[in-house]
């Protein structure tokens, strides 16, 4: 039944049920023992009342004896008045004793005592009657027979016997009361010990359940942190590859920039030589050959530029693919950190409930309360580490977005540069064709061809300058991409630190439970 309840209700029922059962048993035991003691006290009171009643009868009989003797000796009426008072006391006491002794096992003793007192009363009445009639000598003679003395001795014997048996009865009742109280104290001690034992067993059972739940949570946190660590290592490898590719791309772009500048200088020189050729004679084959050589060198340089651009495009596409892989890994880290945060929240709530129930358990729950407090601290540390990791993941995503934008911009610039290189190559081809026309075909058309060479050379110069500008833009994009990679590496290092703290917190929590 307790397994289906949540931890709070499990602790409440686990402590309440044995405590209520133990308290119910103790209350029943106290009630039965108290009832026995009450009955014993009631019997003691009854015995005491019977003893007092019998003593009152005997005292009345003694008063009757003393007053009858006093009147017999002194003839004083006061003794008669006292005698009547003692007779009335005797009659009332005898009536009370009859009511009290109806179910008493010593009723016969009391009845014999009453009968003897009645007999002595008749004897006293004879003495007083003779004394009142002036027959004092006869009264004295009757008194001297010893009949009254025998009755009085028998009354005292019966009183002593009654007192003895009733005192024994009182001792028995006191012994019974003492035994009942001792038994009550014994069972109270046994019940208290059993209650403490049951509470300890329940506490062990409940703490083992809480420990099991906390261990499952810590294992989940440790597993998540290990998955995050593996993902981070993979991201580090991707980032290092990306940085290497960016550095290679930057080097290639610098070489392309130098090549473009050289091409621009060659184009300017070609245009200058073409102008010189134009100012010379139409048959100046030496100048035309020089222009042809420069044009061929420009064509070769443009070819190298286009080849470098193609390699650059391939590397930029590879970088874009690595960035997409990095984004997917980053998404997995975000999912795992959210799971860790949820586990930390559940662990925190569990520790809070355990702390509350430990306070309710009192002295028995103090140690468990300390453990619950430590569990809460470690859960808070796990949650804080997970939040820090989530923040770093968001920063990494922003850096990745910036890197993607820079990569896309670099790809566009590379395509544009390739188009410019294509235009440059076509221009150099036209220059070569024009020079061929100058040298091999009609020298009469050399002027127009040279003019065309000048125009094409100027166009080549302008195109190579634009190409140099585009290459500088690509270099700037690669620098931005490199900076993003550096920031990503920094974020991953911070993420690794957060994961290490999270893993340490999980290990501490596991060691604690």
* Parent domain of 133: 2-145
- Same-domain check for residues 9 and 115: yes
- Same-domain check for residues 323 and 244: yes
Q: Give the Cα separation of 113 and 108 in Å (integer).
A: 9
Q: Is residue 290 part of a domain?
A: yes
Total number of residues shown for the chain: 513
pLDDT at 281: 41
Q: Give the Cα separation of 498 and 505 in Å (integer).
A: 10
Q: Considering only CA atoms, which of 418, 420, 506 is closest in space to residue 463?
A: 420
pLDDT at 129: 92
In angstroms, the Cα distances linking 208 to 202, 205, 375, 379 are: 10, 5, 15, 19
Q: Considering only CA atoms, which of 3, 423, 384, 22 is closest in space to residue 199?
A: 22
Q: Considering only CA atoms, which of 168, 162, 140 is closest in space to residue 43?
A: 168
User: Last residue of some domain: 145, 171, 202?
Assistant: 145
Are 68 and 127 within 8 A, CB to CB? yes
Q: Say what the pTM is.
A: 0.41
- Same-domain check for residues 129 and 233: no
Q: Is residue 300 part of a domain?
A: yes
Are 347 and 375 within 8 A, CB to CB? yes
Quick count: other Cβ atoms within 10 Å of Cβ 185? 11
pLDDT at 485: 65
- Same-domain check for residues 305 and 449: yes
In angstroms, the Cα distances linking 241 to 203, 272, 387 are: 56, 46, 28
pLDDT at 503: 76
User: Last residue of some domain: 121, 145, 169?
Assistant: 145
Q: Is residue 261 part of a domain?
A: yes
Q: Is residue 49 part of a domain?
A: yes
Side-chain half-sphere exposure of 246, counting CA atoms within 13 A: 26
Q: Give the Cα separation of 383 and 27 in Å (integer).
A: 49
- Same-domain check for residues 314 and 455: yes
CATH number at residue 122: 1.20.120
pLDDT at 427: 72
- Longest alpha-carbon distance in the chain: 209
Q: Is residue 501 part of a domain?
A: yes
Q: Is residue 188 part of a domain?
A: no
Q: Give the Cα separation of 58 and 20 in Å (integer).
A: 56
Number of structural domains the chain divides into: 2
Q: Give the Cα separation of 242 and 316 in Å (integer).
A: 10
Q: Give the Cα separation of 423 and 431 in Å (integer).
A: 12
Are 357 and 343 within 8 A, CB to CB? no
- Same-domain check for residues 379 and 474: yes
448: CB partners within 8 A, 6+ apart: none
Instruction: Supply φ then ψ for residue 457, to 5 degrees.
Output: -65, -40
- Same-domain check for residues 242 and 139: no
CATH number at residue 264: 1.10.287
Q: Is residue 151 part of a domain?
A: no
- Same-domain check for residues 134 and 246: no
- Same-domain check for residues 116 and 243: no
pLDDT at 428: 67
Q: Give the Cα separation of 455 and 281 in Å (integer).
A: 19
User: Last residue of some domain: 130, 145, 160?
Assistant: 145
Q: Is residue 181 part of a domain?
A: no
- Same-domain check for residues 341 and 231: yes
Q: Consecutive 10-residue runs of the chain (513 residues): their mean pLDDT?
A: 64 73 81 81 81 88 90 89 94 87 79 92 91 88 86 89 86 86 89 83 74 74 77 77 72 71 68 62 58 71 74 75 78 81 83 79 76 82 82 78 76 75 74 63 56 66 71 71 71 75 74 63
């Amino acid at each position: 039944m307790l397994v289906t309840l949540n931890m709070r209700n499990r602790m409440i029922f686990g402590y309440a049920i044995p405590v209520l059962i133990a308290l119910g048993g103790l209350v029943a035991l106290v009630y039965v023992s108290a009832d026995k003691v009450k009955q014993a006290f009631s019997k003691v009171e009854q015995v005491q009342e019977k003893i007092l009643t019998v003593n009152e009868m005997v005292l009345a009989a003694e008063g009757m004896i003393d007053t009858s003797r006093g009147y017999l000796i002194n003839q004083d009426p006061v003794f008669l008045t006292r005698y009547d008072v003692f007779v009335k006391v005797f009659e009332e006491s005898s009536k009370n004793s009859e009511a009290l002794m109806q179910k008493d096992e010593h009723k016969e003793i009391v009845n014999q005592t009453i009968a003897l007192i009645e007999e002595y009363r008749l004897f006293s009445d004879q003495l007083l009657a003779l004394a009142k009639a002036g027959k004092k000598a006869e009264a004295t003679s009757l008194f001297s027979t010893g009949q009254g003395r025998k009755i009085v001795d028998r009354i005292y014997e019966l009183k002593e016997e009654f007192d003895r048996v009733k005192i024994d009865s009182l001792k028995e009742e006191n012994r019974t009361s003492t035994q009942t109280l001792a038994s009550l104290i014994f069972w109270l001690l046994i019940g208290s010990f059993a209650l403490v034992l049951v509470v300890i067993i329940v506490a062990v059972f409940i703490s083992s359940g809480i420990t099991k739940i906390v261990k499952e949570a810590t294992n989940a946190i440790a597993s998540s942190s290990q998955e995050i660590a593996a993902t981070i290592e993979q991201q580090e490898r991707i980032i290092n590859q990306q940085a290497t590719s960016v550095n290679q791309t930057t080097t290639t772009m610098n070489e392309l920039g130098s090549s473009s500048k050289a091409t621009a200088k060659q184009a300017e020189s070609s245009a200058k030589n073409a102008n010189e050729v134009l100012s010379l004679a139409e048959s100046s084959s030496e100048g035309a050959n020089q222009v042809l050589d420069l044009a061929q060198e420009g064509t070769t340089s443009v070819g190298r530029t286009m080849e470098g651009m193609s390699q650059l495009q391939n590397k930029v596409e590879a970088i874009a693919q690595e960035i997409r892989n990095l984004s997917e890994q980053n998404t997995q880290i975000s999912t795992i950190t959210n799971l860790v945060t949820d586990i930390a929240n559940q662990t925190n709530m569990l520790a809070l409930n355990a702390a509350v129930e430990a306070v309710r358990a009192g002295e028995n729950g103090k140690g468990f309360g300390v453990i619950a407090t430590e569990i809460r601290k470690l859960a808070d540390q796990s949650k804080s580490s997970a939040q820090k990791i989530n923040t770093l993941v968001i920063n990494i995503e922003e850096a990745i977005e910036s890197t993607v934008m820079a990569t896309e911009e670099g790809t566009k610039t590379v395509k544009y540069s390739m188009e410019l290189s294509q235009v440059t190559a076509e221009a150099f081809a036209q220059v070569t064709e024009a020079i061929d026309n100058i040298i091999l075909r009609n020298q009469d058309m050399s002027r127009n061809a040279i003019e065309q060479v000048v125009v094409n050379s100027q166009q080549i110069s302008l195109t190579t300058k634009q190409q140099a500008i585009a290459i500088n833009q690509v270099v700037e994009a690669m620098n931005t991409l490199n900076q993003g990679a550096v920031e990503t590496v920094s974020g991953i290092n911070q993420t690794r630190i957060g994961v290490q703290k999270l893993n340490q917190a999980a290990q501490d929590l596991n060691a604690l439970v």
